[in-house]
Structure 1
Amino acid sequence: MTTHKSEVLVIGGGIQGSSTAYHLAKRGVSVRVLEKDTVSRHASGVNAGGVRLLGRNLAEVELSKTAMERWQQLDDELDADTGFRARSLINIAADETDMETLRSREQQMHELGYFHEVMLDQHELRERLPHVAQHCIGGVVSEQDGYAIPFHSTQAFRIAAERIGAIFCEGEQVQSIRKVGDSWLVATETQKYQAEHLVNCAGAWADLISVMIGDNVPMSYSAPMLMITARMPHFATPVVGAVSRPLSFKQFENGTVLIGGGAKGFADRANNTTRLDYSLLASGAHHAIEFFPIMKTACINRMWSGLEAYMPDNLPVIGKSIRADKAYHAFAFSAHGFQLGPVIGEVLADLITEGESRFDLEPFRVNRYERKVL
């Protein structure tokens, strides 16, 4: 059996793995991506497509800001249509408690030198969202934010990477990983691969790959659900969320409305499948109507879910392996990693080619939940 060799082997063909392959290939590094199904088959192809800087955990803000800059020119860079639209993102305040939460956040952000989140009063909210419910009293907006089409974006990275030499191998599920000398040896059912560097971008299966590498993580996985309506008259240009309610939706240019909010279905990772929880989807529809009464007229056209990985703190794992040399992780983006894709590939390429990243990756280290030995 032939052993396929490259300088870097990336496990996982989602947006993080595809972006990593692109950034490495740009630097002249030979890279191969192993995907157990097809590229963008799971979370990276079926998520809500939010390109969000608003409301980021403070540990992620610098990464997210850089990623947002990349998104503005990403179509030109990749010579592709990612579907990116800068429409702004508004989180709606339903009551005074929500407004107080926003004021507290604003003070914290300003003290750290961040001014991209701008408070809106009730009048300003209604100017931007004329159909918002009467009880809503304000909100916060990030003007650069918007959305993209997940499948198109991930495929754009894949195609751009292939143009400059990256190789993608689909239908290749990793069965074993071992380190022999300075090389990583990876076996699938039918092939063998060898590389100096190994990158774990395996999404909802990343904890299994981590164990093979030598790093244990308390990762879980779930099945976030989405639904989309038939076409409606245009009523909302910005992407919409809520401060303290499980609401997330956007109206596309063709009039359809995508409704999310984080409700989770049933995930069967072993069999590569998910199952919808219709009661939670119904609750999501009610939340949409609560904020936008016009949604009473909506007709749901389709519903689905994908498999997504989560860490207990909802922050991803990004950085070098703790127990193995020349191994790296980028996974568990906890249903908000799509926007970070353009910068995560750069971070991993920097770690591999330069040995360090200009970003502070300490909050994302793979062993952050391990008990310290006194």
Structure 2
Amino acid sequence: MAEDTAAIRTDAPLPEDADPAAAARSAKRRKALRILAIVVASAAILWAGWYYLTQAGRVHTDNAYVGADSAQVTALVSGPVKEVRVAGTQAVKKGDILVILDDADQRIALADAEAALRQARQRYGQASATAQAARARVAARGADIAQAQARLRDANAAVEKARAEFARRESIAGTGAVSGEELAAARAALQSAQAARDLAAAGIAAAEATRGSASGDLGAAEAVVRGTTIDTAPDVAAAQARVDKARLDLERTVIRAPVDGIVTNKQVQVGQRVAAGAPIMIIVPVDAAYVDANFKESQFGHIRIGQPVELVSDYYGGDVVYTGRVTGIAGGTGAAFSLIPAQNATGNWVKVVQRLPVRITLDREQLKAHPLRVGLSMEATIDTRGDD
């Protein structure tokens, strides 16, 4: 039995450590695993360091789109289109002529307003001349009164003289020194002088009445021109305003670009009659574009106005990176101001993470080098580390 057991132990396989080749391979495996572990750990440390230095404190969204405060061009006066000088997608500068309307009606209106202005100036001149004439008539009536008063004084003197002559003759009529005929003549002379005196007094009253009428005319004439000049008179000023409006309407038949940009949504053709206030095209100022980025509500813990932003557009790809600044945060989510807001007070309510628009202003020089178009998709990353 002991011999069989010894034989069995002699026939058993040798341990691995007894094989030098296997031991060498195992050592090489362990060394490779240690090297791999060191490499992985180093890569993890490097990635963690890179993430901490460059990505920590940054919030990202791909729900961002290019926008711009587009200028809607409208016709301010009505009329048929005479000429269209731009086409869709054409770049224009502020002040460039876009559309010319037929200005025949506006020219006639301007001529009519100018004629009305000349007539108003003429009426003011007539009123001024009337006031001068009324002033002269008042002065003349004053002279007539003075003349009538002088005649009354002469008439009073004549009456006194005739009365004295009559009294003297009447006192000696009983002595026979004065005949009856002479006494009658003296009495007639006195009566004539008294009549002349009454006529002179009536002349004064008539002259004063005439002066009163002339004074009324003078007041009416001066009321038209008092405190004004030919340029500040109400009728003249109103006529001048109508001329200015007619001239402005004439200028508005030439429609110019309000801003620099690209012509979009052109809706006007030659021969078409446009109404005042009708939109005819849109000018998109691509060099003043901005980005509205919609971030999740859970990302707003450290987002602040003024923080730097990096943006990438699908239009140019990752080769072009835009820089910008957060310039505003919307006052509500898009769902809150939608046409049909969500009714969350229902039995089947499910919480949905909301997004809030953030306005990002882009660098003008970058926009000039790489122009964008309204509606393009963007990816925005806000660096919030400066918040601390």
When normalised by structure 2's length, the TM-score is 0.17
Larger of the two Rg values belongs to structure = 2
TM-score, length basis structure 1: 0.17
Between 1 and 2, higher relative CO (CA 8 Å, sep ≥ 6) is seen in 2
Q: Which has the higher helix share?
A: 2
